Structure 1
Amino acid sequence: MNEREFDKIFALMQASFPESERRTYSGQKGLLTDSHYRLITETDNNNLIIAFLAAWEFPLFRFVEHIAVDPIIRGSGIGGKMMTAYMEESKKPILLEVEHPDTELAQRRIGFYERLGFYLNPFEYVQPPLQKGQDDLPLKIMSYPQLLTGEEFVLYKENLYRNVYKIKD
């Protein structure tokens, strides 16, 4: 991936996620060297990046950290198509984080994933800070193709904390 492509992805990330749900520019760019991290992009007819899916792929499961579509073409179905393609190529469970269903936007986002086949798990979960000085962020875990058991949730959460969020204990 060249610098310009990464810059477009990071700009999409900034336009799509609050600061508490993304890393710094250098922190995000540093993930490109991690063998578990994968960026999938969608381009338009001019070969410009219009959407991306950022995921972590582990032996037991996959974790979609970010998916975003250029604000100009949101609602066109591109995000759903990207997610569906990612789900279809996987034989492993897929997890993602969502906000608590306290707002209309959060409820719509959860509904989007439920229509794709994801389940909202009942377990308490916080996303550790992605940048220095931030607080833990209370979120919920959604999973595909089924709800997680308590044991699976603990195992996957420990893996996320250790490998994605770099929490040692």
Structure 2
Amino acid sequence: MITQHAFNQVFDIMAQSFPVTEYRTYEEQQKLLADPRYRLLTETNEQGDIIAFLAGWELETVRYVENIAVSPHIRGGGIGKRLMERFLSLSGMPVVLEVEPPEDELQQRRIGFYERLGFHLEDYMYMQPPLRTGQSGMLLCIMSYPQPLTQERFHSIRQELYRHVYRMPVHNH
């Protein structure tokens, strides 16, 4: 179980690394710790402070990377890659994550980081539901590991994410 101090360190890195639309409120994020499907992997420095984290989910048929971030002043040293490799090795299930469309250099570099780890950029339309009340959803891309997804598999994974991660009612079409 993660301590309150460790959670605060993770949340600080989250707040420094993502726009407010890409992570939950402090209270909502903390509630996830009680969900047995939610996983939080961390890397610490010599002083025992958390310098990076990966927040993910173990769902029925897929594992999902919700957030991965390294403390801003030490990025580029391979810590994020190590965390992703740890998460990818946890089980034999496929892994998915969401990325912004490759519209600028930073977004293209981020996609390249995941592609070097073996992820595939999918071209299915994907709307990420809002993480906070009063926000609208965001159009994102899905990346999958280790193989590309069929359209049918993409739809079933999207339903799984909507139901468990975003807690939305899912209607079969």
Q: Sort the TM-score into its range (normalised by shorter chain).
A: over 0.9
TM-score for both structures, normalised by structure 2: 0.96
Amino acid at match of 1:49: I
State the percentage of identical aligned residues: 51
* Equivalence for 1:146: 147
- Displacement of 1:89 after TM fit? 2.7
* Equivalence for 1:115: 116
- Cα offsets for 1:119-143 (capped at 9, x unmatched): 0001000110000010110000000
* Equivalence for 2:41: 40
Amino acid at match of 1:102: E
Amino acid at match of 2:104: T
Comparing 86-95 and 21-30, the one that deviates more: 86-95
- Cα offsets for 1:71-90 (capped at 9, x unmatched): 11100000001111221232
* Equivalence for 2:158: 157
* Equivalence for 2:31: 30
TM-score for both structures, normalised by structure 1: 0.98
Moved over 6 A (4+): none
Q: Which runs of 5+ in 1 are unaligned?
A: none
- Cα RMSD over matched residues? 0.7
- Cα distance in 1, alignment partners of residues 91 and 13 from structure 2: 25
Mapping of residues 1-169 of structure 1, within 5 Å? 1-169=2-170
Q: Which runs of 5+ in 2 are unaligned?
A: none
- Cα distance in 2, alignment partners of residues 89 and 5 from structure 1: 22
Number of equivalenced pairs: 169
- Displacement of 1:93 after TM fit? 0.2
- Cα distance in 2, alignment partners of residues 4 and 78 from structure 1: 21
Amino acid at match of 1:52: F
